[in-house]
Amino acid sequence: MAILELRDLTKRFGETVAVDRFTLSVEKGEFVSLLGPSGCGKTTTLQMIAGFETPSGGTILLNGRDLAKVPARARGLGIVFQTYALFPHMTVEENVGFGLEMRKVPADERRRRIAQTLDLVHLSHLSGRYPRQMSGGQRQRVALARALVIEPELLLLDEPLSNLDAKLREEMQLELRRIQQEAGVTTLLVTHDQSEAMALSDRIAVMQGGRLIQEASPFDAYDRPANGFVSSFLGKSNAIPGHLEGGAAGTKLRCRELTLDGPASGETPGPVLISLRPERIEFTGEAEGIVAGRVSERIFLGDKWLFKVETGLGELLVVRRNSGRREPEVGEAVHLFWQAEHLRVLSAESAE
């Protein structure tokens, strides 16, 4: 059963449509991410759920209850903001317990729930410290504990890791997922970070221009993008314009002067955009090669190599795991191979 249902949710600011008929259901215990570039409407969507913005249209249901006339303070939601918004003059314990105190929870119950939540986020030993005495990651966990201690029906996270450095952000992704699963709280995250959404989520809702473009598991969104935008936004991708031809002998793709074997596809024959992930391409011998090329650039990224290869299909990106073996040099002639099943055929209109 869905704990949160958004039905045709819409928000206009004058003539600007920030969120356009957005529909999404979130199941109990799920971790769902709203993912998209700046200005796509994801934060506005979160603010409408939280009660900080009034929808121009549509419905928000929380456990079947219409939130249209429920003020923000009465929605029973846990919210973690990008800035954490901790009280500097309060200790960790006092910050975490503030929401309980405002709800007039009895002192004994307050102490029990604070202790339980601090244990969940592994901060029991720092309960007497002040925010200024803590690291960014620790402050983030205090903010999370303050949101969880009220036992919310829904946890809303607004870019909660964006202020952390790259290494700490990766560590906190694992910690955030652990906490969410142990608490069992239904969670909706807003982020523009693709790797963060894929690492944390059960499902991703990709947004563009205020609209929901694709809703899928992280693997399906990455491996089977709905259109060219999703393909390019979720990691690196090679986008190859072509023409799809079907026949008794199988699907064929004509790209520039080359004809490629295509995957099984339900697309109507005609102009298409072909998506091919860089890690699906292999260097191979001339006999097995699908297309020949020449390395124009290579970049060492520690755990992998990124190559740019000029081919008859245009410039292709190739990613290779760093295994210590010899890799092609800039200027070297190479041959590329991929499985036809790894080509994703998208409609030509999805190239935007």
- Same domain for 142 and 250, yes or no, is no
Structure confidence at residue 85 (pLDDT) = 85
Comparing CA positions, the residue from 202, 196, 136 lying closest to residue 170 is 196
Mean pLDDT across the stretch 293-307? 95
Give the CATH number, domain containing residue 268. 2.40.50.100
For residues 180 and 167, what is the distance between their CA atoms, to the nearest angstrom? 20
Structure tokens at 300: 């060492």
Cβ atoms 117, 96 nearer than 8 A:
yes
Mean pLDDT across the stretch 188-209? 95
- Global confidence as pTM: 0.88
Residue 292 domain boundaries:
236-351
Q: Out of 228, 250, 276, pick the residue that ends a domain.
A: 228
Structure confidence at residue 352 (pLDDT) = 45
- Same domain for 176 and 131, yes or no, is yes
- Same domain for 116 and 83, yes or no, is yes
- Same domain for 153 and 211, yes or no, is yes
Total domain count, the chain: 2
Q: For the chain, percent helix, then strand, then coil, each to nearest 5?
A: 30, 35, 35
- Same domain for 166 and 250, yes or no, is no
Q: Out of 228, 256, 290, pick the residue that ends a domain.
A: 228
- Same domain for 203 and 246, yes or no, is no
Task: Please state, for a pLDDT cut of 90, what percent of the chain lies above it.
Answer: 75
- Same domain for 30 and 109, yes or no, is yes
Structure confidence at residue 163 (pLDDT) = 79
Comparing CA positions, the residue from 99, 185, 111 lying closest to residue 150 is 99
- Same domain for 212 and 244, yes or no, is no
- Same domain for 211 and 240, yes or no, is no
Per-residue pLDDT tens over the stretch 42-79: 999 999 999 999 999 999 999 999 999 899 999 999 99
Structure confidence at residue 247 (pLDDT) = 54
Structure confidence at residue 341 (pLDDT) = 87
Structure confidence at residue 267 (pLDDT) = 64
- Same domain for 190 and 337, yes or no, is no
Fill in the DSSP letter of residue 28: T
Per-residue pLDDT tens over the stretch 103-146: 999 999 999 999 999 999 999 999 999 999 999 889 999 999 99
- Same domain for 15 and 77, yes or no, is yes
The partner residues of 187 in beta bridges, in order of sequence, read: 31, 155
